[in-house]
Amino acid sequence: MARTRSGLSPRSGPLLVALVPLGFLAVFFVWPVVAIVRLGFGEGGVLAVLGSADTWQLVAFTVGQAAASTALAVLAGLPVAYLLARTSVPGRGLVRVVILVPFVLPTVVVGLAFRTLLPDGGVLAIVLANSFFNVAVVARTVAGLWSHLDGRAADAARSLGASPLRAFTSVTLPALAPALTSAAAVVFLFCATSFGVVLILGGSRYRTLETEIYLRTVELLDLSGAAALSLVQLVAVVAALSVGALARRRRESALRLRGRASVARRPRGALSWTVVGVALAVVTLLLVPVVVLVARSFDGGLAGYRALAGFGHEESLQVSGWEAAANSLRAATDATVLAVVLGTLASVVLVSLSRGRTRRGVVETMDTVLMLPLGVSAVTVGFGYLVTLDLLPGDLRTSPALVPLAQALVVTPLVIRMLLPVLRSIDTRLRQAAASLGASPWRVWREVDVPVAGRSLLTAVAFGYVVALGEFGATSFLARPDTATLPVAVARLLARPGELNNQMAYAACALLVAVTVAAVAMVESVGRSRVVEF
């Protein structure tokens, strides 16, 4: 009996290619993190730290503020999701841009903006800032599912006597649950590991695990304490990621079951208009911090912008503002190139494996592992680099290459989340049609997958670029004073006294805002992308 071979899925190819992103992950992520964990255990500080009441207070505050921020982001994001998915109100494209900007704004910029709005800072400012970042995640993830939800199920409920609200809570909301859970898990993760805003807004009074790790490492040199806290955080992160992965699995099957996308229409009825009103209010509120920050940057005329040519009040910086900007651009470019290559490879591997007959669990585990860097604190990673990388040849630890490597680690998961859904959405039969017309497996990729996913790749590049540009957690650890990036320079300026430093920081943040808005506008103009859908 001969075996007829399919010829479409050579098994070993994808697994070999998988070694590249997985290898990168192993050297620049797993190793440093494991080293931190071992360091924590090695010095025997773990038990002491775990037993201390301070630690659990820290955990309670971290979880508490993350939960509050997540709840707020969900409450604010749902009406916006409705607006995006179910209505044809003019200006929806603008809404998509406006909510996306906060997500990619550098954390130092957001921290400074909220400090300007609420000079006393505190818990409220932290929670507001954290949810400000993540409204887009909720709105766009939920809208992604909602716009494909067959509205006839809710119509059926209405015809059976349910009020509009009842139809929503009993039919629509459960159907949206997978997207909602997935988004909430990711948002919780981002809020729990949020670094820049807590550092700027919390000062020394309000500390989370993330900022505490940083403080213990940098200021107290308490490595074992930092390692122990990293360990606690790691456990929490893996738990949240697993919840997210489970939800994503349900969401993808929900998407597969979808009917034809329902037609968006003008809102009808009091409930619908109320929701739209709330959504527009949310969008307006999202604009406030950004506008205030940019306005503030012109307070002293152009003084702040002129000061960028210098080094700040009493030489607060070792590089000029413009040099820091140039450092940022260089590092972000390298990081983006690296992340796009790695992310593309990983997506191709994941989609090839799931198209073949590889066990589903294997693919999902790999997917989750590749998402890990998104959740594990950038500070932990940066700290891990300091501990491990001098063992590598080429004195990497003091090399300027370290910053883009760390940034790439943060950006790669985002690239994967943007490419993978598009590649997965390509009907296998479309590829089979190409094969039956004579296209070899490679040719099928070139003729079908690449053109279909091409736009998403472009958006991934632009999006990855701004995220790298604004990365603060790991960069603040790794950039040396003479290779400081703009966000790092801003944080340093804010930590030093002097009105000139303040003006300079505002001007630098306004520049970062400008770059971010431009990139987001480009992402959106390329087409309706599925950016930030988790």
Partner 1 sequence: MALTVSGLTVHYGTVAAVSDVDLAVADGEVLALLGPSGCGKSTLLRAVAGLEPASGRVCWDDVDLAGVPVHRRGFGLVFQDGQLFPHRDVVGNVEFGLRMRGEPRTDRVAELLELVGLTGYERRRVHELSGGEQQRVALARALAPRPRLLLLDEPLSALDRALREQLAMDLARVLETTGSTALVVTHDHDEAFTLADRVAVMRAGRIIQVGEPAEVWRRPVDEDTARFLGCGEVLSATVAGGVARCALGEVRLPWAADGRARLGLRPTALRPADEGVPGEVVHRVHRRDHVRLRVRVDGRLVDAVAGMGDAPPVGAEVRLAMDEDGVALLPA
Q: Based on CB atoms, which residue is closest to partner 1, 378 or 457?
A: 457
Segment interacting with partner 1, rule: CB under 8 A, options 58-66, 362-370, 427-435, 490-498: 427-435
DSSP class per residue in 68-80: HHHHHHHHHHHHH
Are 156 and 137 in contact by the 8 Å Cβ rule? The answer is no
361 lines the binding site for partner 1 (CB under 8 A): no
Element (H, E) at 154: helix 152-159
Are 529 and 455 in contact by the 8 Å Cβ rule? The answer is yes
* Near partner 1 by CB under 8 A: residue from 432, 458, 480, 522: 432
301 lines the binding site for partner 1 (CB under 8 A): no
Q: Based on CB atoms, which residue is closest to partner 1, 152 or 357?
A: 357
Structure tokens at 81: 């999701």
Q: Give me the residue label for tokens 């940022």.
A: 328
Q: Based on CB atoms, which residue is closest to partner 1, 434 or 510?
A: 434
204 lines the binding site for partner 1 (CB under 8 A): no
| Letter string b/e over residues 437-455, b meaning 16 or more CB atoms within 10 A of that residue's CB | eebebeebbeebbeeebee
Q: For residues 436-455, which are near partner 1 according to CB under 8 A?
A: 436-441, 443-444, 447-448, 451-452
Q: Based on CB atoms, which residue is closest to partner 1, 19 or 430?
A: 430
Amino acid found at 13:
G
* Near partner 1 by CB under 8 A: residue from 120, 219, 315, 427: 427
What are the backbone dihedrals phi and psi of residue 265, each rounded to the nearest 5 degrees, phi first?
-140, 170
User: Measuring CA to CA, which residue among 211, 277, 292 is closest to residue 510?
Assistant: 292
> Nearest 5 degrees, angle CA 487-CA 490-CA 496?
150
256 lines the binding site for partner 1 (CB under 8 A): no
Q: Closest separation between CB of residue 428 and partner 1, Å?
A: 9
Rounded distance between C-alpha atoms, residue 316 and residue 330, angstroms: 22
Look at the chain and count its residues. 534
Q: Based on CB atoms, which residue is closest to partner 1, 67 or 439?
A: 439
Cβ neighbors of 31 (< 8 A, separation 6 or more) are 384, 388
Q: How many residues bind partner 1 (CB under 8 A)?
A: 27
Q: Closest separation between CB of residue 3 and partner 1, Å?
A: 6
424 lines the binding site for partner 1 (CB under 8 A): no
Q: Closest separation between CB of residue 259 and partner 1, Å?
A: 14
Q: Based on CB atoms, which residue is closest to partner 1, 271 or 437?
A: 437
Q: Based on CB atoms, which residue is closest to partner 1, 4 or 204?
A: 4
CB atoms within 10 A of CB 400: 15
Q: Closest separation between CB of residue 10 and partner 1, Å?
A: 10
425 lines the binding site for partner 1 (CB under 8 A): no
Alpha-carbon dihedral 400, 31, 488, 71, rounded to 10 degrees = 150
Rounded distance between C-alpha atoms, residue 115 and residue 119, angstroms: 5
* Near partner 1 by CB under 8 A: residue from 112, 189, 351, 434: 434
Q: Based on CB atoms, which residue is closest to partner 1, 63 or 439?
A: 439
Q: Based on CB atoms, which residue is closest to partner 1, 1 or 165?
A: 1
Q: Closest separation between CB of residue 347 and partner 1, Å?
A: 18
* Near partner 1 by CB under 8 A: residue from 8, 30, 278, 526: 8
Q: Closest separation between CB of residue 14 and partner 1, Å?
A: 17
- Enumerate the H helices of 437-498 as residue ranges: 441-444, 450-470, 473-478, 486-495
The dihedral sign for the CA sequence 305, 309, 312, 313 = negative
Binding residues for partner 1 (CB under 8 A): 1-8, 427, 429-430, 432-441, 443-444, 447-448, 451-452
